[in-house]
Amino acid sequence: EDQVTQSPEALRLQEGESSSLNCSYTVSGLRGLFWYRQDPGKGPEFLFTLYSAGEEKEKERLKATLTKKESFLHITAPKPEDSATYLCAVQAKGGNTPLVFGKGTRLSVIA
């Protein structure tokens, strides 16, 4: 069974204090690993897709990396507006496989 575990469950950072969020996964052949951001009362917003180990993607203060067992979302010099829940999901290879989501990491960035 495909599984995703995210850690920590919650993270509190001072503005400018860089850190990383972890997403560990087990999947029967990875098609893609997805990162989403979710603000309170809203739907998840797509950030990145990673397809193979060693791949990296960046967007503003966020950088996502991928290995064969886990992905990291690195946040460099975060700002209060980066506060959100960050969700990781995996999709297995196959014709019609859905995403399997982790429970997310709640990030709070304090000014």
The site for other proteins (CB under 8 A) is made up of 31-32, 34, 36, 41-46, 49, 87, 89, 91, 95-104
Q: Considering beta carbons, is residue 78 or 102 the nearer one to other proteins?
A: 102
Shortest distance, position 106 Cβ to other proteins, whole Å: 11
Shortest distance, position 80 Cβ to other proteins, whole Å: 23
The CA–CA distances, whole Å, from 96 to 19, 48, 62, 99 equal 35, 20, 30, 10
Q: Considering beta carbons, is residue 44 or 78 the nearer one to other proteins?
A: 44
Residue 98, burial from CB neighbour count under 10 angstroms (0-12, 13-18, 19+)? exposed
Q: Considering beta carbons, is residue 78 or 107 the nearer one to other proteins?
A: 107
| Core vs surface per residue 21-34: b (16+ CB within 10 A) or e | bebebebeebebbb
Shortest distance, position 56 Cβ to other proteins, whole Å: 18
